[in-house]
Structure 1
Amino acid sequence: MSEASPPWRHPEYRRGAKEMVGIALGIAAWGLVTGVAMVKSGIGVWIALLMSLTVFAGTAQLASVPLIAAGAPIWVVWATALCLNLRFVIFSAQWRPYFKHLPLGQRARLAYFTADLNYVLFMRRFPGGKPAPEQLPYFWGGATVNAGSWHVASLAGILLGNHVPTEWGLGFAGTMALLGMTYSLLSDRATWLPAVLAGTAAVAAYALPLKLNMLVAIAAAVAMGMAIDHSKPLRNRLMA
């Protein structure tokens, strides 16, 4: 297939979409919770809609909305969102070997659709760090399902949020959905150890301001993952 062909015609597009469908329910649950939370914070439906479509980052939205509703200085809102989204700098650095040859505009579009689970599935599918023609279609397949499930559920939560009773406990339900979704991705030592270390680091650094404990957890998990990857060649040589 020609590289100029639309990505949705490539078999890897369908594979990426299919693999993301399995976890789309958890993404949708989290999007619904975020949409409801934004409306119930009192910022207004139109602002919530604009924020959902432009920010496209549930954790940053949930952390920023109470600050906006409370009239916090804009620099505080920006700093909070920036700290929570610094993990995407790490993701982008890992993605760079695959997409650095693409034009700037195309990389900017990829950046908008970058998400945590897109990263996990992509790296599991292409662990080598070398670019290949099938990687872009695979990315867009997963991104289409991920963004679609998120935006549909988030917009539904925004539009219906004022009619959802608080006692339904959607926040807890969304958290449980995310935990189940994350658990399904842990298949071996290379995924379990970083996950356990990230959870431990997040709790240990909980007292840090601006939710910096999340950045600490991500950095710890990435460091553990890199250490495991670098140890594999050594183990292979010792066993040879």
Structure 2
Amino acid sequence: MNTAVAAVRTTVRDPAFRWGLKDMLATSLGIGAWGLVTGVAMVKTGLSAPMAIFMSLVVYAGSAQLAVLPLMAVGAPLWVVWLTASCVNLRFIIFSSMWRNYFHPLPRRQRLAVGYFSGDVIFVAFMKRFPQQEPRPEQVPYFWGAASLNWLCWQVPTITGILLANTVPLSWGLGFAGVLALLGVLLSMLFDRASWIAAAVAATAAIAAFALPLKLNILVAIAAAVTAGLLIEAADRHLRRKPQVLLVPADGALPPAERERVEQGDVPLREERHP
């Protein structure tokens, strides 16, 4: 116990822990509003307060929770609910493959904790802070700084919304506030071409499939966005790895700058020697 307390104290005192807190402040208001709306929505859908709190603490996946609530409200089959939640969370497979490059030296228990506390906004902030995919001492305290604030900004408003759901009038327009909060969080996560195109594909697919029963347009939009994102990233990797021809004199050597690019793996070069 003393060892665990000492480890937590060391992590909290690390400057990188404060970096994580600072980087999450920009989205904390949107996360809180999103959590409040989700808490109210869970109770309005028909969940009891204890079950809603249990779902919030155990599932801890705002996108999946919001995606399945309309399905639960209309009495969708359980397989549709599970499939929708699984599709929404498919992105965490990609996240975990990226986290592995940073956290693979950690014990399994700590890696499982990272998996539970990780989230979209944390992932984006972490990758911006540490673009080089290699373990560094400050990465763990940074992650816990960001994760602790993100967890509190989600759970406290969510539980507040659950407990006060029956006293919150619909005239407050929390549904629209939730949409605005989600939009703000979404825009903060669109940082490259693949994410922008995936978002556009998701919106188009959701509108095109709006007539499907049981709100299956959500499932269609998720599948289309994930597919588009993966295809774009695969195409980008292929273009980056496309060999470039470099003509080198027969008695010469590869220029140092180009040799460094090859060693770093930035661009594979095909060396052709000519007399």
TM class by shorter-chain length?
A: 0.7 to 0.9
Match of 1:47 in 2: 51
Selected match of 2:122 from 111, 118, 121: 118
Conserved 8 A contact 1:43-1:69 = no
CA distance in 2, matches of 1:141, 1:42: 35
Match of 1:214 in 2: 222
CA distance in 2, matches of 1:100, 1:146: 23
Conserved 8 A contact 1:198-1:221 = yes
Conserved 8 A contact 2:45-2:72 = no
Mapping of residues 104-115 of structure 1, within 5 Å: 104-115=108-119
Conserved 8 A contact 1:34-1:62 = yes
Selected match of 1:10 from 14, 37, 40: 14
The Cα of 1:68 is off from its aligned counterpart by 3.8
CA distance in 1, matches of 2:154, 2:240: 36
**Amino acid in structure 2 at the alignment position of 1:101:** P
The Cα of 1:9 is off from its aligned counterpart by 1.7
TM-aligned CA distance change 1:98 to 1:178, over 3 Å: same
Selected match of 2:144 from 140, 143, 163: 140
Deviations 1:122-176 (A, max 9, x none): 0000111111111111110000110000000100010011111122221211221
The Cα of 1:216 is off from its aligned counterpart by 3.1
Deviations 1:30-81 (A, max 9, x none): 0001000001111211111110110001121123234445554433332221
**Amino acid in structure 1 at the alignment position of 2:199:** G
**Amino acid in structure 2 at the alignment position of 1:87:** R
Aligned residues: 232
Match of 1:162 in 2: 166
Rg comparison, structure with higher value: 2
Match of 1:205 in 2: 205
Selected match of 1:83 from 84, 87, 95: 87
* Mean Cα deviation higher: 199-208 or 223-232: 223-232
The Cα of 1:233 is off from its aligned counterpart by 9.0
Selected match of 2:104 from 100, 105, 116: 100
Mapping of residues 12-27 of structure 1, within 5 Å: 12-27=16-31
Match of 1:62 in 2: 66
Higher helix fraction (1 or 2): 1
CA distance in 1, matches of 2:34, 2:144: 21
Structure 2 residues not aligned, in runs of 5+: 1-6, 245-256, 262-275
CA distance in 2, matches of 1:59, 1:44: 20
CA distance in 2, matches of 1:215, 1:137: 34
**Amino acid in structure 2 at the alignment position of 1:168:** W
The Cα of 1:227 is off from its aligned counterpart by 5.7
Conserved 8 A contact 1:43-1:65 = no
CA distance in 2, matches of 1:181, 1:203: 16
Conserved 8 A contact 2:36-2:161 = yes
Higher strand fraction (1 or 2): 2
Question: Larger relative contact order (C-alpha < 8 A, sep ≥ 6)?
Answer: 1
For the residue of structure 2 that corresponds to 1:205, the secondary structure is: helix
Selected match of 2:182 from 166, 178, 182: 178
TM-aligned CA distance change 1:95 to 1:220, over 3 Å: farther
Deviations 1:191-228 (A, max 9, x none): 25234202221023323846242243245345546766
TM-aligned CA distance change 1:66 to 1:177, over 3 Å: closer
**Amino acid in structure 2 at the alignment position of 1:154:** T
